[in-house]
Amino acid sequence: MNDAQLRCFHIAATEESITRAAARLGISQPTVSAQIKILEEGYGVQLFRRVGRRIELTDFGAHLKVITERIYAAQDEARELLIGHQNLSKGHLRIGAVGPYHVLPILQELRIKYPDVTFSLRVGNSTAIFDAMARYDIDIGIMADLKAGDSKYHIQLLRRDEIALLVHREHPFARRGTVSCAELASQTIIIREPGSVTRSAFLNALTSADLAMPQCLEIESREAIKEAVACGFGIAPVLRSEAGEDRRCVLVRIAPPAPSFDEYVACSRDLMRTPLIKAFLDAASAVSDRLETSRQHAATE
């Protein structure tokens, strides 16, 4: 067994596809298949079975994947330690977040102490970010719909965010302080794609209140949703922190109890010991404390 064979297995297992594994590794599909076959024949095991056009792990392959995840997580940890040094003079973070509003304040906090640290940012819904973190495609994930208790991940609270309605400034709701969920039945609601926690929290609020489901228009990106509202296609449930500023639109509160959910910072526990990851988590804690202080102050006004 050599590292090339093991890495081909690990990436194919992670991607659940020989084609995607080859693209990610930058080699041909036959090469990936050959490396996996050598590994299987050398040890007399079957690691994958074919199901239609995709592959799935056997029980033995699933056990091996647990081990390779630890191996490559340890390699990433060693890489960050060597690159970043103990004083964090250098280093690179791969971050995934449900929106730039959630992560940029943390990066701003980090940059004050460590100006030479670089980062790459992937934006997507919570499901996509979690999956990327599970595949070790990113180091840190900022997302919703997580619960503490999974021993594989470190999870810390970032903030609680409330869902409000983004409406066109000429819409009748724009002149209202609040709108009840019951008033939405006659509206066209522009919602995110499945996997979005904003979508699920909003629709769950309607279902829990036993309200009729309004007509929905599904659009994948936040930017496209905001533009659709500005062009008069409907109204949209959005997080207050993500609403931004657009003179064509107005943000209106949903009457209590407004749907809300918690957002978290998460990473694999295998990476927590790296100085760069620890510095990011510390910066996230500082931002979280400021957000909570601001929220409490607003609640008393």
Tens digits of residue pLDDT in 41-58 = 999 999 999 887 788 999
pLDDT surpassing 90 at residue 64: yes
SS3 at position 219: coil
Confidence category of residue 80, pLDDT binned at 50, 70, 90: low
Confidence of residue 246 (pLDDT cuts 50, 70, 90): confident
- Write out pLDDT tens, residues 87-129: 565 678 999 998 888 799 999 999 888 888 889 999 888 888 9
Q: What is the pLDDT of residue 301?
A: 53
Give residue 90's pLDDT. 66
The whole-angstrom separation of Cα 170 and Cα 167 is 8
pLDDT score of 195: 80
pLDDT tens for each residue of 17-26: 999 999 988 8
- Whether the pTM exceeds 0.95: the reply is no
Question: How do beta strands 249-254 and 118-123 pair?
Answer: unpaired
Opening angle at CA 192, ends 168 and 285, nearest 5 = 100
pLDDT at 244 over 90: no
Residue 29: band (very low, low, confident or very high) from pLDDT cuts 50, 70, 90: very high
**Please, which pLDDT band fits residue 227 given cuts at 50, 70 and 90?**
very high
**Looking at residue 84, what is its pLDDT?**
53
pLDDT at 265: 94
| Axis crossing angle, helix 3-15 with helix 29-43, rounded to the nearest 10 | 110
Q: 124 φ, ψ to 5°?
A: -170, -175
Query: What pLDDT is recorded for position 164?
Result: 92
CB atoms within 10 A of CB 208: 11
Residue range 132-158, pLDDT digits in tens? 988 888 999 998 877 655 678 899 999
DSSP letter at 214 equals P
Q: Which helix (H) or strand (E) holds 63?
A: helix 59-84
Closest-CA residue to 281 (of 262, 264, 261): 264
pLDDT for res 174: 93
If pLDDT is split at 50, 70 and 90, which confidence band does 197 have?
confident
| pLDDT number for residue 54 | 82
